[in-house]
Amino acid sequence: MKKSVVVCYPPLNAKKGTPLLGQNRQFQWANDPWYAYPIVPAYGATMLKNAGFDVFWLDGIAEEWSYSKWLKKLIKIKPDLIVIETKTPVVKHHWKIIKEIKKKLPKSKVAMMGDHVTALPRESFEKCPVDFIITGGDFDFQMLSIANHLAKNNKLSAGIYYRQDKKIINTGNFRLNHNLDELPFIDRDLTRWELYAYKNSNYIKTPGTYTMFGRDCWWGKCTFCSWTTLFPGKQFRVMSVKRALDEIGHILDNYPVVEIMDDSGTFPVGKWMREFCKGMIKRGYNKKIQLDCNMRFNSGLTKKDYQLMKKAGFRFLLYGLESANQETLDRLNKNSKVEHILKYAKIAKEAGLWPHATVMVGYPWETKKQAQNTINLAKDLFQKGYIDTLQATVIIPYPGTPLFKECQKNNWLKTTDWNKYDMRQPIMKTKMSDDEINALVRGIYDSIWTPRFVLRKLKEGLTDRDKFKYYIWLTLKFFSKKLDFAGQKKNNKIISLAGKITRQITKTTRK
């Protein structure tokens, strides 16, 4: 009889909204949720199926199921192994869920994975009856190792914790030495790709999907990034150019996808990127698909490189701006200069690309005046037309990151109640009040809506149907985001109503 495995994201009965959990480095609750396709777990599910296991994909969050509906489906399957990805702000929720699972399905084994349990693996064994903890970022290979251990008594690979006679056993430090060219093409039908194909603010055209040609970022040292826990040090791995192009070809041959977001921590640059772009053009994929990716201002890309990316089908480039203060960039180990932001955003935009920037506030060392510098830079970028979209958040020091260790050393942490590490409030002690920091986030969003920006986007929307629908959706998300940082106690009813309205309109504008 085949062994069965469920890869799942349980719905959470939380008043804060919908958790943006899978494939997200920075966690948030959302009133108008969007869903990123969890690439590494999807590879894992495919590998398990190819190895002969019965595999079930139960993303109750993206399915928008109730918790009771999700649990009934799980109980009906009675799986041998249940795998759950977790993050700091929801780990306490998952402890409760695992307790209930073990009561309903005492014979099922449960494994947890993610950056939080990688940083604090023993904590979850103390808080719930979990059976395995996967550490490191190669969840896919580790999931298969556990399944083979249960089915065939194979030796567990390094990086897995498990219970044995009431003791917690560690198989050794995780190793990021897997060859990415050996990964199969993802079975996107098995992993319900369509759930993530429309409600995603990265896409201007839908349906879209994700790839991940590299793990994680070729810089990989930013002190706040949760993926420094999953992929520590400079251990960037990338597929061969041919393997990456073949995966795009496989997607085009089997799915009606028109846009792809590659979620490598930062897209590979240099010789790899140039060969990839030339391959996209040679195979004609650039005429069939648009590409999006993460990028850095210090990437070393030239004007010709950006022009080549545009020709190859690239559209959206996501940059981590973070702050307009050099002191902050240096303390975050961003390895970039403030002057690079304007320079390279301009070059990318002039090449016909669509730069997007992420910024953060709430740094312990920044004054209100310094934080205002970031708002001013964001406004300047929009006024000059160098960036098209922007995301603003409160910085959170996740356990395992260098920033979290710095907070412990300097006594900056207000709390270690993991439920509060959700960007709804500052976790670090700062020179500003919480209300001032939330007002700064709203101020960053307000900086977008200059008359010049609105007129420019209206002009674009009148000549492009996809852009017109996209701008309607972004407008709705703009107001939703402002409400996220408006003070939850006073605005819960407004936030809930706004979320319902936005979700209804989204169904007609994104499909």
The token pair at 87 is 């993050």
Give the HSE-up count for residue 112: Cα atoms under 13 Å, Cβ half-sphere: 34
Please give the pLDDT value at position 502: 42
Say yes or no: 338 and 422 in one domain: yes
Q: Where among 404, 429, 448 does a domain terminate?
A: 448
Distance of CA 165 to the CA centre of its chain: 37
| CATH number of 303's domain | 3.20.20.70
Whole-angstrom distance, CA of residue 303 vs CA of residue 290: 20
What's 287's DSSP letter? Answer: G
The length of the chain in residues reads: 511
Say yes or no: 162 and 208 in one domain: no
Domain ranges, residue 109 = 4-170
| CATH number of 11's domain | 3.40.50.2300
Domain contains 507: no
Q: Say whether the peptide bond before residue 207 is cis (omega within 30 degrees of 0).
A: yes
Whole-angstrom distance, CA of residue 241 vs CA of residue 279: 8
The tens place of each residue's pLDDT in the chain, 511 residues long, gives 789 999 999 999 888 889 988 888 888 888 878 899 999 999 999 999 999 999 999 999 999 999 999 999 999 999 999 999 999 999 999 999 999 999 999 999 999 999 999 999 999 999 999 999 999 999 999 999 999 999 999 999 999 999 998 899 999 999 999 999 999 999 999 999 999 999 888 898 999 999 999 998 999 999 999 999 999 876 799 999 999 999 999 999 999 999 999 999 999 999 999 999 999 999 999 999 999 999 999 899 999 999 999 999 999 999 999 999 999 999 999 999 999 999 999 999 999 999 999 999 999 999 999 999 998 898 889 888 899 888 888 999 999 999 999 999 999 999 999 999 998 889 999 999 998 998 888 877 776 666 666 666 666 656 676 666 666 666 666 555 555 656 544 444 444 444 444 444 444 444 5
- Cβ contacts of 284 within 8 Å, gap of 6 or more: none
Q: Where among 394, 419, 448 does a domain terminate?
A: 448
Domain contains 179: no
Q: Where among 413, 448, 483 does a domain terminate?
A: 448
pLDDT tens, 10-28? 999 888 889 988 888 888 8
State how far the alpha carbon of 384 is from the alpha carbons of 109, 319, 335, 445, 503, in Å: 55, 17, 25, 16, 32
Domain contains 15: yes
Say yes or no: 331 and 231 in one domain: yes
- The domain total for the chain is 2
Domain contains 419: yes
Give the HSE-up count for residue 46: Cα atoms under 13 Å, Cβ half-sphere: 17
